[in-house]
């Protein structure tokens, strides 16, 4: 509904603006009509044009009401606070003042003196409401396309009437002067060229005045958007405590308040208990490497150990030690353990939990592998670039006791590579169809990892299957899904999929029904077929209705200690001095996004609302979220996730237990969005920063 409203709202406001622009031209020229008859004809035309514009305005307001009824207040609050008042006032002024005058002029007797008709047609109370409706519609159209307001403050709300008054100031002065001339019998009908020049000058001057105001605001925004040379991650402009009891961060806005925590602990000290010797050790060397895909396409990759997507495999409960060495990545590297709830100091976020590892340096990560399941790791230093170039791999943690027996498994780690042959999708380095021979009756497990910036759709064609785990968390009693069912994995997400091999081929596909344009895997029992039959996709898997409902302290909670809201939007604006199309949280980008403050032990609920034009996979570090509601309704089967894909027009309510102290990123895992500020932080109130971000330190997380 929200996406339909946005896409319907754009043409509605544009057509409305065009109609009011036409009406403005007509109303400006009415007093120059050559005769009463012609004046009445143009008055009738004006009534029809304005009437159609009013109908479209009513349709737009109904659209807003429809979104409110279907989606709730958070999907419309910015528009209701900014655009709706200006639209209503301007259009009501036409209905109350201009329209009655129009009808009166149209109904005047044929022998009415022309000078009286001209005076009525040039009255500011008759002309200015038409201009106002046109200006308001134009502002609304620009806002709908470029800058939908989200949680606007008083100043942002007042910008709308202020801009409207600025735009109308010059036209009002010109119309008033013309009207006074008529009343004083000093009105002269000038040549049409001179009249057009006056009108153009009036419009240009109005736009220049409005542009000066907008330009001044843009210059202030540009300067405010410049990222500081150095800053610690507590240097936030807004602390949100979620309506709970005050935290130790209440005084954050006072100078150096964060140095005053009597019982504070620094991030660097939050290593967990790593006194035990390591059970398993790995070394990963970050280095540049030319890698050839199976098609022959060459990738100038940034890799760990010179290979694409290396695999680390450990046993649940083992103490894991990973030494990261940077050979030649000039901008520095880290390792973030995506979805793995390591102690904060091991989370691998530059400037927050460690400094970057520069060329020739090393850093050792150590943690106990308490969580079984499918995970992955990647650099978090300028992650949009570094993950894109290949600094990632898989982390597989086998459970102490297997709950499902499989005969074989396959790790399918999808990525889009920039190659000598253009952009190519691949499973690891396999960018063509793979063939795997499997005995009939064997049970196969696929660990599918999506490392791309966008969600990816998959299909397992040829047999029923089960999704047994999502983001490392087991699904309780998963039902079989028919082979026409597709499933979509968020950026950064992981699905474990199991199936029993039948006596005919089975194919894993990416993308739509044909699977064209992406890699695939064909499982066969002997000689691979020359052609594989592909059926039509029947439906897309909905996790909200799958498996046995999860039951934990969060699903049964009657109340939460803190409740936060994240509204995802988009607008044209500045980030670090550059004009960009921004993806925002609560109308802002980092470092102006709020910092969510919690106390250890809090039960925390967060509401995600996506009002933007794109999907946003929201990834919370250090915790798994329990999904409680989707689009305002309780999900039939709550589940746990670390990366929740929120599609345009969707809303979710999720909850987590604040049981892993630290300073944690909470961001969109479309890493291009994160790179332009779609980031906020979850902060435990007793934790202090140990590092800084910015050009001075070289720590540049996204």
Query: In a 3-state reduction of DSSP, which class is residue 606?
Result: strand
Q: Kind of pairing, strands 506-510 and 456-461?
A: antiparallel
pLDDT at res. 258:
47
DSSP string, 635-690: -SS--EESEEEE-TT-EEEEEEE--S-SEEEEEESSHHHHHTT-EEEEEETTEE--
Report the alpha-carbon distance of residue 30 to residue 179 in Å, rounded.
13
β-pair partners for 626: 640, 655
pLDDT at res. 210:
76
**Residue 677 DSSP symbol:** T
pLDDT along the chain (702 residues), means of 10: 70 95 90 81 92 96 92 93 96 93 75 68 89 95 89 92 90 85 69 72 79 83 87 76 88 50 86 97 98 95 96 98 97 98 98 97 98 98 96 97 89 95 94 94 97 94 95 95 92 97 93 65 88 75 92 94 96 92 94 93 98 95 97 95 96 98 97 94 94 92 90
* Domains 239-263+551-697 and 280-545 are alike in CATH topology: yes
pLDDT at res. 238:
84
Q: Kind of pairing, strands 280-292 and 298-304?
A: antiparallel
| Measured CA angle at 579 (ends 578, 580), to 5 deg | 110
Contacts of 416 (CB under 8 A, 6+ apart): 423, 424, 425, 426, 452
Range 280-545 classified under CATH 2.60.40.420: yes
Residue in 273, 466, 277, 445 with CA at minimum distance from that of residue 374:
445
The second-level CATH assignment, the architecture, of 239-263+551-697 is Sandwich (2.60)
Residue in 407, 482, 465, 404 with CA at minimum distance from that of residue 439:
407
pLDDT at res. 484:
81
Annotated domain spans of the chain: 3-225, 239-263+551-697, 280-545
């Amino acid at each position: 509904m929200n996406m339909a409203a946005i896409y319907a709202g754009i043409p509605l406001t544009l057509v409305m603006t065009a109609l009011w622009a036409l009406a403005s031209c007509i109303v400006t020229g009415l007093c120059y009509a050559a005769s009463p008859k012609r004046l009445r004809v143009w008055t009738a035309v004006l009534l029809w044009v304005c009437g159609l514009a009013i109908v479209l305005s009513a349709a737009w307001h109904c659209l807003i009401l429809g979104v409110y009824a279907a989606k709730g207040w958070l999907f419309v609050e910015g528009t209701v606070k900014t655009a709706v008042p200006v639209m209503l006032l301007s259009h009501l002024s036409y209905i109350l003042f201009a329209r009655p005058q129009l009808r009166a002029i149209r109904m005047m007797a044929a022998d009415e003196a022309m000078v009286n008709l001209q005076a009525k047609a040039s009255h500011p109370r008759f002309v200015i409401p038409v201009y106002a409706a046109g200006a308001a519609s134009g502002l609304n159209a620009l806002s709908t396309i470029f800058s939908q307001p989200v949680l606007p403050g008083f100043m942002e709300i007042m910008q709308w009437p202020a801009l409207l008054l600025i735009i109308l100031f010059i036209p009002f002065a010109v119309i008033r002067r013309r009207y006074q001339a008529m009343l004083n019998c000093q009105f002269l009908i000038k040549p049409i060229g001179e009249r057009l020049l006056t009108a153009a000058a009036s419009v240009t001057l109005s736009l220049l005045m409005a542009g000066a105001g907008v330009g001044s605001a843009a210059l202030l925004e540009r300067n405010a958007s410049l990222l500081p040379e150095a800053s610690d991650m507590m240097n936030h402009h807004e602390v949100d405590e979620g309506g709970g009891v005050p935290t130790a961060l209440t005084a954050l806005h006072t100078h150096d308040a964060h140095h005053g925590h009597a019982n504070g602990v620094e991030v660097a000290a939050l290593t967990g208990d790593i006194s035990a010797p390591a059970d398993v050790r790995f070394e990963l060397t970050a280095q540049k490497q030319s890698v050839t895909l199976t098609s022959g396409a060459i990738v100038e990759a940034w890799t760990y150990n010179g290979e694409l997507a290396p695999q680390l495999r450990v046993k649940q409960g083992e103490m894991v030690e990973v030494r990261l060495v940077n050979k030649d990545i000039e901008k520095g590297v880290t390792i973030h353990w995506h979805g793995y709830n390591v102690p904060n100091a091991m989370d691998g976020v530059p400037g927050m939990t460690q400094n970057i590892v520069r060329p020739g340096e090393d850093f050792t990560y150590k943690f106990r592998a308490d969580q079984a399941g499918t995970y992955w790791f990647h650099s978090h230093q300028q992650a949009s670039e570094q993950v894109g170039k290949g600094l990632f791999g898989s982390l597989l943690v086998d459970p102490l006791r297997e709950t499902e027996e499989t005969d074989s498994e396959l790790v399918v780690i999808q990525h889009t590579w920039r190659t000598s042959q253009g952009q190519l999708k691949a499973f690891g380095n396999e960018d063509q169809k793979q063939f795997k021979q499997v005995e009939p009756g064997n049970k196969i497990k696929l660990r599918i990892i999506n490392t791309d910036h966008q969600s990816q759709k998959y299909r397992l064609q040829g047999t029923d299957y089960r999704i047994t785990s999502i983001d490392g968390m087991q699904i309780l009693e998963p039902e079989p899904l028919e082979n026409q069912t597709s499933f979509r994995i968020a950026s950064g997400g992981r699905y474990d999929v199991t199936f029993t091999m039948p006596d005919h081929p089975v194919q894993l596909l990416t993308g739509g029904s044909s699977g064209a344009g992406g890699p695939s895997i064909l499982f066969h029992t002997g000689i691979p077929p020359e052609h594989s039959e592909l059926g039509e996709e029947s439906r897309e898997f909905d996790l909200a209705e799958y498996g046995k409902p999860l039951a934990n302290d969060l699903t049964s909670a009657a109340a939460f200690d803190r409740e936060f809201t994240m509204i995802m939007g988009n607008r044209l604006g500045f980030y670090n001095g550059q004009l960009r199309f921004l993806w925002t949280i609560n109308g802002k980008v980092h470092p102006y996004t709020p910092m969510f403050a919690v106390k250890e032990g809090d039960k925390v609920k967060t509401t995600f609302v996506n009002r933007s034009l794109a999907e946003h996979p929201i990834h919370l570090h250090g915790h798994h979220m329990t999904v409680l509601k989707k689009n305002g309704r309780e999900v039939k089967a709550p589940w746990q996730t670390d990366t929740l894909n929120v599609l345009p027009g969707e809303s979710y309510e999720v909850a987590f237990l604040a049981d892993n102290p630290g300073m944690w990123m909470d961001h969109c895992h479309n890493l291009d969005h994160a790179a332009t500020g779609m980031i906020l932080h979850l902060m435990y109130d007793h934790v202090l920063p140990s590092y800084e971000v910015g050009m001075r330190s070289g720590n540049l997380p996204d």
